[in-house]
Chains A and B, each alone.
Chain A
Amino acid sequence: AQKITQTQPGMFVQEKEAVTLDCTYDTSDQSYGLFWYKQPSSGEMIFLIYQGSYDEQNATEGRYSLNFQKARKSANLVISASQLGDSAMYFCAMREVIKAAGNKLTFGGGTRVLVKP
């Protein structure tokens, strides 16, 4: 079974600074995908960024980038130039193939980020 571990339950970051959120994963699959989601206090899950296991370059989406280290099985999210609106829970997730068809996401426990002005 796949497992996602986020070891940082909570973090403070100063506005305009960068923050790195840790995510390690465990899988025996050769092909997999890693996702990061943001969940503000309002509750909706917002997709941020995706990294495929065969992607040679680290994924970037605006202020979000993914530090993907395949040998270490880590996929850390970097948020640059933090804004007050970045205060939220952040979840790392891995795509797992469902034996019948399709796939599903397995989520880590999340990291709460609070951006200080």
Chain B
Amino acid sequence: DTGVSQDPRHKITKRGQNVTFRCDPISEHNRLYWYRQTLGQGPEFLTYFQNEAQLEKSRLLSDRFSAERPKGSFSTLEIQRTEQGDSAMYLCASSPLTGGSSPLHFGNGTRLTVT
């Protein structure tokens, strides 16, 4: 169990640029989640995949945001035309398919700073 891996750990970009983050979940986990966390707040749900299917998207996920999980393994989160309000920690988590008591296993996150 190598844990959930996220890349990069930090990203600084200028307003208006596009950024892409990658998440590698725990290998046997079918479920993958993206959350956003701003300073001093709890994580907010963005989107959820079961295998390669994106089954839920939050209203927080504007049309500038897109997430994919093409082969049901790793996932990418892209933000187009970044804005300063996008500055946050982006957390990826995974969990197995069965068991409502199974916790989400989180990666260390990607911290995005938009200047």
Contacts and interface: CB of A to CB of B under 8 A. Distances in A.
Nearest to A110: B42
A33 B100 contact: yes
Interface in B73-99: 89, 91, 93, 97
Interface in B39-81: 40-45, 48, 50, 55-56
Interface in A52-89: 52
Contacts of B45: 104-106
B48 A105 contact: no
Nearest to A105: B104
B9 to A, nearest CB: 9
Contacts of A43: 89, 108-109, 111
B43 A103 contact: no
B55 A102 contact: yes
A16 B27 CA distance: 39
A50 B50 contact: no
A111 B44 CA distance: 16
B11 interface: no
A107 B44 contact: yes
A98 B100 contact: no
A12 interface: no
Contacts of A110: 40-42
Contacts of A93: 42
Contacts of B41: 109-110
Nearest to B30: A102
Given A33-B101, A45-B43, A91-B43, A102 B48 contact: yes
Given A31-B100, A45-B91, A45-B93, 12 more contacts: A35-B103, A37-B103, A44-B109, A47-B103, A47-B104, A93-B42, A95-B100, A101-B50, A102-B31, A104-B48, A108-B42, A110-B41
Interface of A: 4, 31, 33, 35, 37, 42-45, 47, 50, 52, 91, 93, 95, 98-110
